[in-house]
Structures are given as C-alpha cells and as structure tokens.
Amino acid sequence: MLTIKDYVLPKTLEEAYSILNLNKNNAILGGCAFLRLGSKQIETAIDLSDLALKYINEKDNQIEIGAMTTLREIETSPVLQKNFSGILPESVKNIGGVQLRNIVTVGGTVYSRYGFSDLNTALLSLDTDVVLHRKGRISLEEFLEKGAQKDILEKIIIRKTKCQASFKMMRNSAADYAILNVAVSKNDNDWKIAVGARPQRAKIAKEAGKYLAGSKKTNEEIEEAAVIATKELAFGSNTRGSKAYRESICKVLVKRAIMEVI
Ligand SMILES: Cc1cc2nc3c(=O)[nH]c(=O)nc-3n(C[C@H](O)[C@H](O)[C@H](O)COP(=O)(O)OP(=O)(O)OC[C@H]3O[C@@H](n4cnc5c(N)ncnc54)[C@H](O)[C@@H]3O)c2cc1C
C-alpha cells in the first residue's frame, strides 16, 4: 500500500525541486495512478497542480505539452488530432478506460520511461524533446536511454513538421498493455521507426530507417526494412508474449505502419 506522510502544493518549480531533493523518499505526484499500485513510503508528496503545467500550446514551429496534461487531453486535443497524422491521440486511446486517461499524466508517463508505454513510442517517432527543471532540454531519445536523477519533468516539446505518421500496436484485449507498439514517421525522406513494449522501452530502428530512405519503397523493400528493424532491435519475453512472438509481430506492424505512411 502507498503511504504518504506529508503533502505539499508548491508555488514554483524551484520550490518543488528543492523539496524533492531534501529527502530521498520525497516524490512528485503525477496523476498518482501508477504510484498507488505500489508500496512506496513517501515522506513528502509533491503535488504539481498549482504550477500551471496543464496545457497543450501550439506555436509556429512547435507544440508544447505540460507535465500535468492528462492522456485524455492528448486524446481529445484538436491540435494533436490535426498534427503528426493524429498519432498521439491514436497512441493513448486504448490505455485503460476514459476514467484512467482522465487521471494519468504526460509527466508521470514520460519521466518513468515505462517499457510498455504507448505514448512514449509515438513521441519517439517524432522530433520530441523533454524539458527537465534541473537538467534542461534534451532529446526524448537521450532521455529514454539515460533517464535523470531526481529531476522534474516540466514539459515536452515536439517540433512541428509536415510529417506523415502511423501508430500500430498489438494487444490481447482492449485495455491490456500492448505486447508490442510501433510508430513510424516520414518527414521529407527522413524515416523514423520506433518500436516499444519489446518489452523494453521504445527505441529507434536506425538502420531500417536509413535503408527505407535509400529505397524505392517497393513491397519487397518495405518488407526488408521491417526485417532489418526486427534484427537490429532486441526483444524479450514476459507474461504477455515471447521474444519470438514479438519478433514475428514486429515485422508485420512495421510493414503496416510504413505502408500507411506511404
Ligand atoms: C491500471 C493501469 C493501466 C495502464 N495501462 C497502460 C497501457 O496500456 N499503456 C500505457 O502506455 N500506459 C499504461 N498505464 C500507465 C499510464 O499511462 C501512466 O503512464 C502511468 O499511470 C503514470 O502516470 P501517472 O500520472 O499516474 O504517474 P504517477 O503514478 O503519479 O507517477 C509515476 C512516477 O512518475 C513520477 N512523476 C510523476 N510526474 C512527474 C514529473 N512531472 N516529473 C518527474 N517525475 C514525475 C512519480 O514520482 C512516480 O515515480 C497504465 C496505468 C495503470 C494504473
């Protein structure tokens, strides 16, 4: 059972950050949906609700999404439906039910770097940066690889492009975790193929992207790109699926996503 000894509602990010680092058992609260499933003993719980971090702002060159934005707000955002072929709303629509998506936050999702995350895979296929209070702005790709020490995710920034994109996933049932998820984007002739829930966290299949960019995109070449993506990434087994099963569906989902983009 989750226990919380003290609760604070800071007025600035700096205040939240300094409280976070006062004690190793202090923790940030996002929507608290994942936290409450565990047995963490939090000394001081830091609620970011007063910091105006709930927004989806469209600017000329980028879209900024605040850490306290919920996945339901991503799902229903007209801005995100019209940009990036709508893959961000598409990627979250099967996460639990509406009640869960009304609670869970972008900050909790991205900062935690869950392997199974659908949103992180879709974001990785776009040109996404994360803004951390202490560490500053870094690419999502680097953040997913390295993480951060006791920091606060303030927002994510997605560069606006005219890219075509597609998100695909395989689930045993509607609200279950994905067995595999794939997002593909094409900006001019720059292809990004991201695969998550392997079950490790999302990663870009760089060789496959390069191969596709240099190909004529015939059926055989698309299939070859999907094979390259499957070979260059590592897959594993868990209760939802075996390594071999994931490798098989990776080829299919990557191929379908590329064809949809084309
Ligand atoms: C029942 C259930 C089913 C789910 N199914 C899926 C699924 O199928 N696919 C999927 O992609 N996801 C799924 N999720 C995960 C969900 O989408 C969220 O990613 C998850 O709940 C974390 O978001 P949260 O707001 O609840 O974070 P919390 O539980 O509040 O926090 C999670 C962690 O992140 C830290 N944190 C929170 N916000 C910040 C911040 N701004 N800066 C730094 N650290 C922060 C917290 O301290 C904590 O360690 C599921 C979650 C639940 C509870």
Residue of 35, 73, 88, 124 best suited for mutating to test ligand 1, as the one with most atoms within 8 Å of CB: 35
**Distance between Cα 134 and ligand 1 center (Å):** 21
- Hey, is 16 helix, strand or coil? helix
CA 70 to ligand 1: nearest atom:
25
The letter for the amino acid at 67 is: A
The ranges assigned to domains in the chain are: 3-49, 56-159, 164-261
Cα(155)–Cα(117) distance, integer angstroms: 17
Cα(41)–Cα(55) distance, integer angstroms: 30
- Does 31 have pLDDT greater than 90? yes
Q: What is the pLDDT of residues 184-212, one digit of tens each?
A: 999 999 999 999 999 999 999 999 999 99
Q: CB-based contacts of 151: which residues, under 8 Å, 6+ apart?
A: 17, 111, 132, 133, 134, 135
CA 35 to ligand 1: nearest atom:
29
Flag whether the pTM goes above 0.95: yes
**Distance between Cα 212 and ligand 1 center (Å):** 34
The mean pLDDT of 113-135, rounded to a whole number, is 98
- For domain 164-261, the CATH architecture is 2-Layer Sandwich (3.30)
pLDDT confidence band for 39 (50 / 70 / 90):
very high
- Please state, rounded to an integer, the average pLDDT across all residues of the chain: 97
- Does 219 have pLDDT greater than 90? yes
Where does residue 39 rank: exposed (0-12), middle (13-18), buried (19+ CB within 10 A)? Answer: exposed
Question: What is the signed CA dihedral for 128, 184, 181, 158, rounded to 10 degrees?
Answer: 20
Residue length of the chain? 262
Ligand 1 pocket, Cβ-based, cut-off 6 angstroms: 27-35, 37, 48, 67, 71, 95-96, 100, 104-105, 107-109, 111-112, 114, 116-119, 152-153, 177
Q: Quickly name the fold that domain 56-159 has.
A: 3.30.465
Q: Quickly name the fold that domain 3-49 has.
A: 3.30.43
Structure tokens at 135: 């560490």
The residue with tokens 């190909």 is: 215
Q: What pLDDT score does 174 carry?
A: 86
